Amino acid sequence: MVNFNATTSRRNALRWLTSGAALATALPFVGAFSKALDAASAERGGTSPPVPDDIGTYPFSLPELPYAYNAVEAAVDAETMEIHHTRHHQAYVNNLNDALEDRPDLHDAPLPDLLAALDDLPATIRTVVRNNGGGHLNHTMFWNMLAPDGGGSPQGEVADAIDANFGGLPAFKEAFQEAAAGVFGSGWGWLVSDHKGALSIVQTANQDSPLMDGLRPLLGVDVWEHAYYLRYRQDRGGYLANFWEVVNWPAVNERYILEG
């Protein structure tokens, strides 16, 4: 993962996760992420904010899109949305369930916990869970980060944080697009928050999640070719320019909860 904001302490983020994993006992993965969040929230005098995506536990299932396939055509065409949802996302779900089928000790673990403690997973399923668990989580969040009536400007606490961290919305958009355009091969661009509420822009490769590095995803953009190729062909920059038209800013703000 590449971090574009020198003010964010990667070391602190990693320590945050490590402290959560260290609490593991009989079921080492259940609660690893939420415990890490609790510890971080207590440190700043609040309570733990929820991860606002109902992903649940094994067996995982493909969530319904919260809008029609043609509802975000200001940025992405209906055919791409349908293939992306029913083929690509479904495949991540299927592969994740297949990997966990014979591991009942992991069936009660929420997906963010599994991803936050990848190093503790058996080597035989670690990569499959990383790629497909990450894919399921990233896409579930991604659909909820878009909206048919999206776009415009952020409101609320995250708007203030964007101003404070990036010097305003235009500068943030430019930096976010540059980061997402610069992902080599397949991956994601993200606006993330650390456990102290500081924002930064990061890239992840393949289906890695910022959660793996102890960072909370607020806004992500899928820059795999399957996300844009039918309309935009090789023009990832054109896709990113239109992406802003469908960003669900209220949802982004909801993810950025500093006070419990």
Q: What is the contact surface with Mn ion in residues (CB under 5 A)?
A: 222, 224
Kindly tell me which of 37 and 72 has the beta carbon lying closer to Mn ion: 72
Kindly tell me which of 113 and 222 has the beta carbon lying closer to Mn ion: 222
Which residue sits closest to Mn ion, CB atoms considered? 222
Kindly tell me which of 133 and 154 has the beta carbon lying closer to Mn ion: 133
Residue 44: count of CB within 10 angstroms of its CB = 12
Q: How far is the CB of 183 from Mn ion (least distance, A)?
A: 12
Q: How far is the CB of 92 from Mn ion (least distance, A)?
A: 8
Q: How far is the CB of 190 from Mn ion (least distance, A)?
A: 14
Biggest alpha carbon–alpha carbon distance for the chain: 50
Q: How far is the CB of 192 from Mn ion (least distance, A)?
A: 18
Kindly tell me which of 213 and 222 has the beta carbon lying closer to Mn ion: 222
**What CA–CA distances, in Å, run from 123 to 58, 99, 120?**
19, 12, 8
Q: How far is the CB of 112 from Mn ion (least distance, A)?
A: 19
Q: How far is the CB of 88 from Mn ion (least distance, A)?
A: 5
Kindly tell me which of 190 and 224 has the beta carbon lying closer to Mn ion: 224
Beta bridge partners of 204: 188
Kindly tell me which of 191 and 223 has the beta carbon lying closer to Mn ion: 223
Question: ∠ at Cα 43 (41, 46), nearest 5°?
Answer: 40
Over the Cα atoms of the chain, what is R_g? 18
Kindly tell me which of 8 and 80 has the beta carbon lying closer to Mn ion: 80
Omega within 30 of 0 (cis) for the link into 59: yes
Q: How far is the CB of 229 from Mn ion (least distance, A)?
A: 11
